[in-house]
Every structure is written in C-alpha cells, then in structure tokens.
C-alpha cells in the first residue's frame, strides 16, 4: 500500500509520492529539450516513408504529420494536468477513474508496449553499431552482443534517476539535431529527389488519411497515457507552461522526423531507414557519424518513454525500488524479441492492437479528471487506499472497465483507426454511465467518506 507523502521531507523524485513545486527540477525549456530528444527517433522517421508507400501523396503525408503532432501535444497536456497540479505519476492518477486495484490493468497495458518499444529501440541501436563496426573494423556480426551492452548502458543511466535522464537527454538533443540537420542539408544540395513524383499521386484525404493519422499517433499513444510521469517535474505548475512545453517539445521534432523519413524514402526508395542513411551518406565516415546519431536517438528516447513508465509501474505492482524496476524493465525487453517484432509484417498491427486499449483508457482518464472530478484529487484518499473515495467495488470501477472494453471492441472493429475511435468511445461511455447512475452507490459512499474526512488535499505547490 502506497503511503501518503510526509510533510517537510525531501521527496524521492523517482518514487510514487507527489512532488511539491519547490522540489521540481525541470523548467519548461528543459522539459521541451527532453521531449525533443525523445521524439527524434527512427520509429517516427518511419512514418514518413510508410505513408508514402501506403498511397498518400506528399501533401497528405505532411498533413498526417501536422495533425498527429497536434493531437499528441494537446492530449499530453490535458492528461498531464493532474501530474502538473498535484505532482502525482500515472500509476497513482489512474486510481481515480479505475480504482485502487482496477488501476493495475491499465498499468500493465501501458507497460507492455513500453517494454516492447524499449527492445525495438535498443535493437535499432544495436544494428547501427553492428554496421559501424563492420564498416570500420571489418568485425563479424555481433548485433546481439551490442544489444546486450546497450541494455546495460541504458540501465546504468536510468538507475541514477530522472535528473540523470533529463540531463543526458537535454545534452544529446542538441547533438542529435545538429547531426540530422547537416545530413538533410547534404541530401537537399547533392541528392536527386523528385518531389513531383509524389505530389502527383492522388492519394486520399478520407479513410486512408485518417488511418495514417491513427498509425502515427499510435507511436505515442503510450506516452500520452503516462504524461504525468514527466510533467510532474515541471515548474512553474501552470497549464500555459505545460501547453507551451508540450507543443514546443513535440511538434517541431515530430514534423522534422516525418519529413526526414519522406526525404530518405524519396531519395533511396528504401523502406529501411538505417540502410537508406548509409546509402545517402557522402562519405563512409559521415555514414558512421549518422549511425552514431541513430544510437543516441534510440537511447534518449528509451530513457524517458520506455524505461521510466514501467519502472514506476513495477514500484506500485511489486512494491519495489526504482532501481529494481529499471532492471526488471531491461530484462523483460529481451523477452519481447525485438529482432523478430521490428521486422514482422505485423509491426503496425501490433501498434493498433495495443492502442485499441490505450485510446479508451486515455478517454476515461480525461473524462474522470476534467468532467467527473472537475480537476480535484483527494490526495489523502488516493494514497491511503482506504474505503470510500476511489474504492468502488472491491477496488475496481465497474464504469471504467465497461467503458474500456466497449472502447476496445469498437477499436478492434475499426483496427486501422483504432486510437481515433477508441478514445472518444471510452470518453463518452464513461461519462454516460456515470450520468445514468451505474456507480451511484459508490458515489454515495464517497460522499459519506468526504463528509467525515478532509476535502481534496492538494500538493503543496
């Protein structure tokens, strides 16, 4: 059972307790730089090439990039509002809508794709190192060894905590951006790219376009869910600061990577970005530099997006420390076998399947915080796990579970646009069932509990 925070003591920044404003370590600018390093990854780059191959034209692909970036930035801000105001992580925030015990399923559903992406990102980095070592030193294929070494390196950095992660990511974001900018300049000045070939494709602004948006957003459907994990470290704790930091941290790098993926595909025709980068490099040395960029990009992304969330979840599930949560995450990344998953034809289906659950969960959490709770969290109750507020039926919210599964069924029915239909379905069903009084009995228990207990106790901001 998680304990409520103790006043006037230093808070563990990597723990589950709320972080008060005076102990937060990120400015909006530093948060923005962390998000830049997190969004500059091969997985987002693949969106550009994948959409051009899928039948969209140049303008529609750019449109997908813009719409998906806006959706990610806005929903990260909205769902991170509880973390910003109260300093709580996703693992605690989810208790409000799903219940003390009920929140554990959303935790697990969030952690599975994070661990899978951790493995995939590390595997991409290992492939890059393998290519470099083969080109430079004529070494044999050692990608599995490099994969293991990268897992160990990321584990060491992550164990040092959020401050170490933020510092590393902020520093690397500048290096990564400069390297990719120079590469794009070289491609434009020396490459032979036929833009007309892809502007003349009719494409579609209908279902195919929105399927592209859903597939693009699926890359960050996990990140939007646990946005509180990072946003709770920002000060000042204002919605304006959060909104600026999220849009500035997501939109520019997101569009840059989508555009880079388009250019690389148009310049080579290859759907393998790593191979394409080497092909377009002006010299073998520059090709090596680019592959180092790929490694840095994958590591910085993993630290914030794929290690932080499950490590916090494991603290709640197994009552363990941050260090152990990080180690468990690293070990499980092997189990996902990214060398098979990343090259599978089912890769994008995998994204849509997990986003079929994550979309409805996000809709439920937004409905609960903004419309049911009206931006109020009873901090004492949500940590003490006593009967009453957030207890529902034996610790589970029937309304949240019904809304989640209805949203998932609708998403599976329309799998190609799963996230786009799952989120509003979960949102509407949750609010409708609340309005119909499905949990009226538990709401009365909550009212009785509040009558004899202090009202919402906010974090000391």
Supply the CATH number for residue 104's domain. Answer: 1.10.4160.10
Range 203-230 average pLDDT: 89
Helix, strand, coil percentages in the chain from 3-state DSSP, rounded to 5: 75, 0, 25
Range 277-281 average pLDDT: 70
Most confident of 32-36, 42-46, 187-191, 291-295: 32-36
Predicted pLDDT at 460: 44
Structure tokens at 357: 């659950």
Least confident of 35-49, 52-66, 139-153, 197-211: 35-49
**φ, ψ at 72 (rounded to 5°):** -60, -50
Most confident of 21-30, 207-216, 259-268, 358-367: 358-367
Distance, CA of 245 to CA of 230 (rounded, Å): 11
Task: pLDDT band for 79, please (50, 70, 90 cuts).
Answer: very high
Task: pLDDT band for 343, please (50, 70, 90 cuts).
Answer: low
Average pLDDT, the chain: 83
Q: Is residue 153 part of a domain?
A: yes
User: Do 5 and 17 touch, CB atoms closer than 8 A?
Assistant: yes
Regarding predicted confidence, which is higher, 391 or 210?
Answer: 210
Range 141-156 average pLDDT: 92
Range 257-266 average pLDDT: 82
Distance, CA of 330 to CA of 336 (rounded, Å): 11
Q: Is residue 130 part of a domain?
A: yes
Predicted pLDDT at 295: 80
Name beta bridge partners: 234.
26
User: Do 385 and 2 touch, CB atoms closer than 8 A?
Assistant: yes
Range 331-337 average pLDDT: 88
**φ, ψ at 299 (rounded to 5°):** -65, -45
User: Do 50 and 219 touch, CB atoms closer than 8 A?
Assistant: no
Instruction: Give the count of domains, the chain.
Output: 1
Range 72-101 average pLDDT: 95
- Based on the number of CB atoms within 10 Å of its own CB, is 141 exposed (0-12), middle (13-18) or buried (19 or more)? exposed
Q: Is residue 460 part of a domain?
A: no
Q: Is residue 41 part of a domain?
A: yes
Range 114-128 average pLDDT: 88
Predicted pLDDT at 190: 63
Q: Is residue 397 part of a domain?
A: no
Q: Residue 379 to residues 59, 86, 234, 458: CA-CA distances in angstroms?
A: 47, 8, 19, 6
User: Do 175 and 36 touch, CB atoms closer than 8 A?
Assistant: no
- Based on the number of CB atoms within 10 Å of its own CB, is 346 exposed (0-12), middle (13-18) or buried (19 or more)? exposed
Predicted pLDDT at 5: 45
C-alpha gyration radius of the chain: 22
Q: Is residue 317 part of a domain?
A: yes
Q: Which domain holds residue 106?
A: 26-345
Distance, CA of 361 to CA of 430 (rounded, Å): 10
Task: pLDDT band for 8, please (50, 70, 90 cuts).
Answer: very low
Q: Is residue 404 part of a domain?
A: no
pLDDT of residue 209 exceeding 90: yes
Q: Which residues lie below 8 Å from residue 139, measured CB to CB, with a gap of 6+?
A: 133
Number of other residues whose CB lies within 10 A of the CB of residue 49: 25
Distance, CA of 126 to CA of 333 (rounded, Å): 14
Helices (H), 368-439: 379-384, 398-413, 418-435
Predicted pLDDT at 294: 74
Least confident of 7-11, 193-197, 239-243, 319-323: 7-11
Most confident of 120-134, 175-189, 255-269, 405-419: 405-419
Predicted pLDDT at 178: 77
pLDDT of residue 339 exceeding 90: no
Least confident of 47-51, 89-93, 265-269: 265-269
Q: Which residues lie below 8 Å from residue 169, measured CB to CB, with a gap of 6+?
A: 33, 34, 37, 38, 300, 303, 304
Regarding predicted confidence, which is higher, 109 or 266?
Answer: 109
Range 342-348 average pLDDT: 63
Q: Is residue 285 part of a domain?
A: yes
């Amino acid at each position: 059972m998680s304990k409520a925070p103790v006043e006037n003591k230093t808070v563990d920044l990597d723990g589950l307790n709320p972080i008060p404003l005076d102990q937060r370590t990120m400015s909006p600018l530093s948060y923005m730089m962390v998000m830049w390093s997190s969004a500059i990854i091969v997985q987002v780059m693949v969106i550009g090439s994948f959409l051009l191959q899928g039948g969209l034209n140049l303008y529609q692909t750019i449109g997908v990039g813009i719409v998906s970036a806006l959706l990610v930035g806005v929903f990260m801000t909205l769902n991170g509002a509880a973390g910003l105001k109260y300093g709580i992580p996703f693992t605690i925030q989810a208790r409000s809508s799903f219940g003390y015990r009920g929140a554990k399923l959303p935790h697990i559903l969030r952690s599975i794709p994070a661990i899978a992406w951790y493995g995939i990102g590390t595997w991409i980095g290992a492939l890059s190192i393998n290519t470099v070592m083969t080109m430079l030193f004529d070494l044999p294929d050692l990608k599995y060894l490099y994969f293991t070494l990268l897992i160990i390196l990321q584990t060491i950095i992550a164990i040092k905590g959020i401050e170490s992660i933020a510092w590393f990511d902020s520093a690397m974001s500048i290096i990564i951006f400069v390297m990719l900018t120079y590469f794009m300049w070289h491609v434009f000045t020396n490459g032979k790219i036929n833009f007309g070939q892809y502007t003349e494709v009719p494409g579609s602004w209908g279902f195919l376009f929105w399927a592209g948006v859903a597939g693009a957003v699926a890359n960050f459907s996990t990140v939007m869910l646990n946005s509180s994990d990072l946003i709770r470290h920002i000060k000042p704790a204002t919605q304006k600061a959060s909104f600026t930091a999220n849009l500035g941290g997501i939109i520019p790098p997101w569009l840059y990577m989508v555009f880079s993926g388009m250019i690389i595909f148009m310049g080579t025709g290859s759907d393998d970005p790593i191979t394409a980068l080497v092909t377009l490099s002006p010299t073998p040395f520059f090709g090596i530099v680019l592959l180092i960029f790929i490694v840095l990009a994958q590591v910085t992304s993993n630290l914030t997006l794929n290690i932080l969330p499950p490590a916090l979840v494991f603290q709640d599930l197994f009552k363990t420390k941050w260090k152990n949560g990080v180690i468990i995450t690293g070990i499980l990344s092997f189990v996902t076998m990214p060398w098979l998953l990343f090259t599978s034809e089912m890769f994008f289906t995998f994204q849509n399947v997990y986003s079929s659950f994550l979309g409805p969960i996000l809709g439920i959490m937004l409905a609960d915080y903004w419309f049911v709770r009206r931006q109020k969290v009873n901090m004492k109750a949500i940590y003490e796990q006593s009967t009453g507020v957030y207890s529902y039926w034996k610790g589970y919210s029937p309304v949240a579970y019904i809304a989640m599964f209805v949203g998932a069924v609708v998403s599976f029915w329309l799998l190609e646009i799963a996230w786009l239909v799952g989120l509003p379905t979960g949102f509407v069903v949750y609010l409708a069932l609340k309005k119909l009084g499905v949990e009226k009995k538990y709401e009365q228990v909550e009212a009785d509990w509040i009558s004899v207990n202090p009202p919402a106790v906010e974090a000391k901001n």
